[in-house]
Structure 1
Amino acid sequence: MVPIAFSVRFFDLDAVLVDEALLSAEERERVGRKATPVLRQRQAASFQCLRLTLGEVLGADPSSLCFRIEATGKPVLACGGLHFNVSHSGGVGLLAWGPRELGADVEALIARPSDSLAEEILALPELEAWRALPTTLRQAALTRAWTRKEATLKAIGSGLRIPPRTIEVGGFWHEPDAPGAPTTLRWTHEHEGRRWQGFEGFNGVPEGYRAAVCIEAGGG
């Protein structure tokens, strides 16, 4: 299979010095609707990191970038040419970008990896594999399954309109062999005739978090 090129970057959203002049009026309005100073900081930082990174990649003025929302609810660059996806959990942000449709997810370890929650997330074969794990491994495994599925659903633009338990991502009970190897663990998913490939094992994932990216694989 031909390697798929994409990039990822992690951010400490709580540490970003926000310059609201970089944000659009709509973004500033969305920031203002957040209920607490911490949430406003994180939302503004997420917008700023997105603009600065894509501006760097495209060689464009970050404040000049325009975005639109697709019918699926997925944000895209109005000018096209580059796909991206943003995720954040707590104060950790993740941005992935590349030449094809993709989805990204970062999550803090699930605090209470209960059997009932696993039933909502996992397909039956996955649930049986998860239940067979030692209790000490179930938290990380369930979190990894969730990030893989969330990244996949975001990539195909369905959000949670497709229940996570109806898709299988497999192999989530194995930790990546080593950091810095995005191809250490991968999975595939097919949806409406399109093939998707997922990756995990990135440098920069903070302690206590898991992250995944899913990108359109094309034919073959």
Structure 2
Amino acid sequence: MIPLIPAPPPELYESGPVLLRPAALPPLPATLPRPPGVRPLRPQLWLVATDAHRDTAARYASLVLDAAELARAEEFRRPGDRATYLCAHVGLRRLLGAHLGVAPRSVTMERAPCPCCGEAHGRPVLPDGRLHFSLSHCEGLSLIAVAAGPVGVDIERVPPPHLVTEAAEVLHPAEAAELAALAEARVPDAFARVWTRKEAYLKGLGVGLGADPAAEYVGAGPVPAAPPGWYLADVAVPDGHHAAVALLR
């Protein structure tokens, strides 16, 4: 795949620019969707480090992003949040443009109908549906997925303990029980693990947090529990973070 923006530090990423880490995904099922005319067909994950790319993303933003994206970037009050948003969206457009063979700014995105209410505020999609993508970012890092079928990704920082206590109430009862059984020091890390799995799956469905996070069990332990019809995996990311990807089988 062509470079998107200059290569990140080699101690974080094993090869290539804005890299798909070879170890990020376990072996994939052989029955994933295969759309006509788009390569590569295997799902790809790209991790963007804001500190490595903020200057390049800011320089290219006006040439790559549309008016709505540029306006959204200006709404961020913290410079770090604005830089992460620009890195994520410049990277996404350059990646999609490379796959589709068009200029990044020519990539047309629209909102899919919301599965909950039918209104046009669902997940971002390409109009022809030949290629699927998902984007997530937290402070300092962005994760992009491109796949032949529905896909969702999420990346989060490990939260402080007091936030876990509040948020654990919205998990599946079995997940909440798994967290309650852990030593206190291990709970924030396990919560980040289960939450990224859950949000990646809900984004793959196209409902996001408009659905009840407690409805599906994805597990807080070392191995994800994929809902029926889905493939769910943890993604290797820098310490202090967790990430996950969900793919429709």
Q: What is the TM-score with the length of structure 1 in the denominator?
A: 0.83
Inter-partner Cα distance in structure 2 for 1:158 and 1:54: 22
**Which residue is 1:216 aligned to?**
248
**Which residue is 2:66 aligned to?**
24
* Structure 1: gaps spanning 5 or more residues: 175-184
SS of match in other structure, 2:227 = strand
How many residue pairs were aligned? 199
Contact 2:80–2:139 (CA under 8 A) maintained in structure 1: no
The partner residue of 1:197 within 210, 231, 235 is 231
**Which residue is 1:64 aligned to?**
106
Inter-partner Cα distance in structure 2 for 1:37 and 1:119: 32
Task: Tell me how far 1:211 sits from its aligned partner.
Answer: 0.5
**Which residue is 2:52 aligned to?**
15
Contact 2:136–2:153 (CA under 8 A) maintained in structure 1: yes
Inter-partner Cα distance in structure 2 for 1:68 and 1:14: 29
Task: Tell me how far 1:213 sits from its aligned partner.
Answer: 0.5
**Does residue 123 of structure 1 match 2:155?**
no
Inter-partner Cα distance in structure 1 for 2:49 and 2:232: 24
SS of match in other structure, 1:66 = coil
SS of match in other structure, 1:166 = coil
The one-letter amino acid of 2:154's match is D
Structure (1/2) with the larger strand percentage:
1
For residues 54-113 of structure 1, give each alpha carbon's deviation from its aligned partner in whole angstroms, at most 9, with x where no partner exists.
222333221211111112220012243110000001010000110011110000001125
Inter-partner Cα distance in structure 2 for 1:111 and 1:53: 33
Inter-partner Cα distance in structure 2 for 1:127 and 1:138: 10
**Which residue is 1:179 aligned to?**
none
Task: Tell me how far 1:3 sits from its aligned partner.
Answer: 5.5
SS of match in other structure, 1:148 = helix
**Which residue is 1:55 aligned to?**
97
SS of match in other structure, 1:188 = coil
**Which residue is 2:88 aligned to?**
46
* Structure 2: gaps spanning 5 or more residues: 1-28, 33-41, 115-121
Task: Tell me how far 1:149 sits from its aligned partner.
Answer: 0.4
Task: Tell me how far 1:131 sits from its aligned partner.
Answer: 1.1
Q: Displaced runs of 4+ in structure 1, greater than 3 A?
A: 113-116
**Does residue 188 of structure 1 match 2:226?**
yes
**Does residue 138 of structure 1 match 2:187?**
yes
Task: Tell me how far 1:186 sits from its aligned partner.
Answer: 4.2
